Amino acid sequence: MSLSDPIADMLTRIRNAGRTGKPEVKVRASKICRGVAETLKSEGYIKGYDQIDDGKQGLIRVQLKYSEDGDFVITEIKRVSKPGRRVYCSVADLPDVLGGLGITIVSTSKGIMSDRNCRKENIGGELICMVS
């Protein structure tokens, strides 16, 4: 089975696992998915992630984070740039998610990073997804 959009698959698996209360989710490993997972971890939306070797492409195990009430920390995770329609943005035009309470994950020439880090580095790129 070929997968045309591994990022959308990763985001959908995280969204669905969070809604059902699963402690972790496994997604197919790729460099861009590891970058997204690293950004979610550094911004505090997931507990962590690790790489699992399955003899093929590999898997990324993402440990999901819940509040003390048992609510999933991520309320919304939405894909912005898609294979059929890429969305690029300069640093001045980066969107604010929920007035700065959420993040936008951006693919830049310096790697995958959050919109806050993009503003610090003064660099734009392709908008991957918005998380709140």
Average confidence score pLDDT of the chain: 96
pLDDT of residue 1: 46
pLDDT at 2: 53
pLDDT, tens only, 54-67 = 999 999 999 999 99
Q: Which segments of the chain have a pLDDT < 50?
A: 1
pTM over cut 0.85: yes
pLDDT of res. 103:
97
- Alpha-helical segments (H) within the chain: 6-20, 31-42, 115-121
Q: In Å, how far are 7, 39, 131, 132 from 76, measured between CA atoms?
A: 15, 16, 6, 5
Question: Any idea which residue has 């399955």 for tokens?
Answer: 54
